[in-house]
Amino acid sequence: MRKLLLTLSFIIFQIPLFGQNTQRLNMMVNYGVIIPHSNELRPLAQSNVSGFGVHYQFLKPEKKNWEICNCYHYLGLQLSWHNFGNPDVLGSALSLSATFEPILWKKGKTRLSLLSGIGTSYLNRVFDPNDNPDNVFFSSRLSFLGFVAPRLEYRFSEKWALESSLTFNHISNGGLQQPNKGMNYLILGLGINHYLNYTEFPEFKKEEFSKEWAFYLELAGHTSYSETAMRRKPSFSVFSEALRPINRIQGIGAGVEMVLDFSLPVEASRAEAFMPAPFVAHHFLFGKVDFSQVMALYTLKPVGYNDYTFYQRYILRYQILSTLHLGISLKAHGHIAESMDVRLGWKF
């Protein structure tokens, strides 16, 4: 916790380096519920979540930054603590997250935005077969956190504003250790924003968007623990997709993902672990940022791999060149997160 606080303090003390950028500090209290995504988890999800967060953000009112998502957006760092209302089994989470918050609508002193973030959570109570066998939500003290939150702000003075939010959070270790049911929880937040510096936003004209189809090819990889080899082994995939924007911020796509997983046991040939899967996808498009949700169908898979016919993949991409992007993704079967990978892709 000391290291997290020192990191946040260091960033805040660098505020003068950001010149005329808009900068704000948010302090928020939270209260909510755990969402049981299977019957097995319902007895554990009876408690309420409470906590607080401290969030530093800055916004650059420059055209090159506006063009990243064709909108003004905040970047930030958030430190949060959430108590899951069951100290002996579920404990609490201390989290540090990087955030991205585009402003979707503004009128007068009121603004609507969509905050998203990804980070790391330290969990003080995790699964243990002897000491804590009931906690099937968490098995790793260090786990991944992802969240999304619509936020409504009302500025009542030059330096101060009130804010409310509704946040969907997911904590999982990405399949690095089992059990890994992961926890989903929904929290209501009420807080206050203090503007350390504020500049007016100039108006920029949005460029016309194209409805033409685009084609993507991605290479992805990660490692998974092999029960037969007793060590981690690689998994690779090739992901190809045709994408068509339907408006400025959304698109639809379809394609096929081909996976070869060296961590899975096979009977005769490694080709048994080859898993081609056609998919459909929905995209949120914010300039250079692309968040997509994929639903894929297994056409082949190894015997005994799992009982699912479909899987989901959630992909976050960032365009670094006109035809090149980097990304990360989370693969899940129903409510169970399986793995996270890194991606390199090309647009044609």
Asked if pLDDT for residue 104 goes beyond 70, the answer is: yes
User: With 60 as the cut, is the pLDDT of residue 17 above it?
Assistant: no
Domains and CATH numbers, the chain: 2-197 (2.40.160.20), 214-347 (2.40.160)
Instruction: Check residue 239 and give its pLDDT.
Output: 96
Instruction: Dihedral sign for Cα 298, 303, 305, 309, please.
Output: positive
Q: Note if the bond before 179 is cis, omega within 30 degrees.
A: yes
- Mean of pLDDT over the chain: 85
Region 270-286: mean pLDDT is 90
CA separation for the pair 195, 294 (Å, rounded)? 38
Task: Please state, in angstroms and rounded to a whole number, the distance separating the CA atoms of residues 245 and 290.
Answer: 11
CA distances from 246 to 73, 207, 210, 266 (A): 22, 15, 9, 42
What pLDDT, on the 0 to 100 scale, is given for residue 206?
66
pLDDT number for residue 346 = 94
Backbone angles phi, psi at 215, to 5 degrees: -125, 135
Predicted pLDDT at 12: 47
65 has pLDDT over 50 = yes
* % of the chain beyond a pLDDT of 70: 88
Distance of CA 178 to the CA centre of its chain: 21
CA separation for the pair 142, 31 (Å, rounded): 23
Better-predicted residue by pLDDT, 259 or 17: 259
Structure tokens at 127: 């699964």
Helix boundaries (H) for 156-277: none
The predicted model scores a pTM of 0.71
pLDDT tens digits for 200-228? Answer: 777 777 666 678 888 999 999 988 767 67
137 compared with 79, residue with greater pLDDT: 79
DSSP one-letter code for 134:
T
Closest CA to 115 of 11, 49, 202, 24: 24
